[in-house]
Amino acid sequence: MGLPDHHMTEGERRIRSFHPHWKRLIGPFLALILIIVGSGAALFLMPDFEYRSYALIAVAVVAVGLLTVWSFIPYLRWKNTSYVLTSHRFTIGTGVLNTSVDDIPMTKVNTVSADQTLMERFFGCGTLVVESAGDHGRITLRDIPRIQEVRAELFRAIDDAADGEPSEPGGR
């Protein structure tokens, strides 16, 4: 996911690979349920009239369009957003048809901070802010699952990169 093994440099090892938190899919899932229930009710309760077959087709076309825009596309965006933390870099990959990959070398990271709202604490996710000396400067990553573990692993990788020797997986 995100960064294939053949794109990693010699001596680089994968620490963690993950997608944004699943809470991003709550809205698209609720939209899916509402569209299915609404279109099913419209199809079932539609009265019998001269152009009923055209009306049924119109309801189905609108339902498929709404499902695509409100459920399928957000799911694809979630599925195709990946974060990969390695011993040498933090990689952020996004995009469905057009892809974008940002690499932040561990040696360029200046500051890492994590923020959590009350609801994010309940879900176990949060916002990770990474400031680097590179071109992007400050990158804000929302809905990072297990934010405190990711932050700790990121700090460990930064320290290891500064020391010049990566630690064993799990921080040992």
**How far apart are alpha carbons 22 and 79 in whole angstroms?**
10
DSSP 138-168: EEEEEEEETHHHHHHHHHHHHHHHHHT-PPP
Q: Tell me what pLDDT residue 170 has.
A: 52
Confidence of residue 73 (pLDDT cuts 50, 70, 90): very high
How far apart, in whole angstroms, are the C-alpha atoms of residue 165 and residue 13? 12
pLDDT per position as a tens digit, 126-172? 999 999 886 667 889 999 999 999 999 999 998 888 887 554 555 44
Say whether pTM exceeds 0.75.
yes
Q: How far apart are CA 110 and CA 157, in angstroms?
A: 13
Rounded CA separation 43/104 (Å): 51
What residue spans define the domains of the chain?
A: 26-77
Phi, then psi, of 117 in degrees rounded to 5: -80, 175
Computed over every residue of the chain, the mean pLDDT equals 89
Residues 27-48, mean pLDDT to the nearest whole number: 96
pLDDT in tens, 81-98: 999 999 999 999 999 999
- Residue 24 pLDDT greater than 50, yes or no: yes
Look at 55-59, 67-71, 101-105 and tell me which has the smallest mean pLDDT.
Answer: 101-105
CA dist 57 → 32, 45, 51, 68 (Å): 19, 14, 10, 16
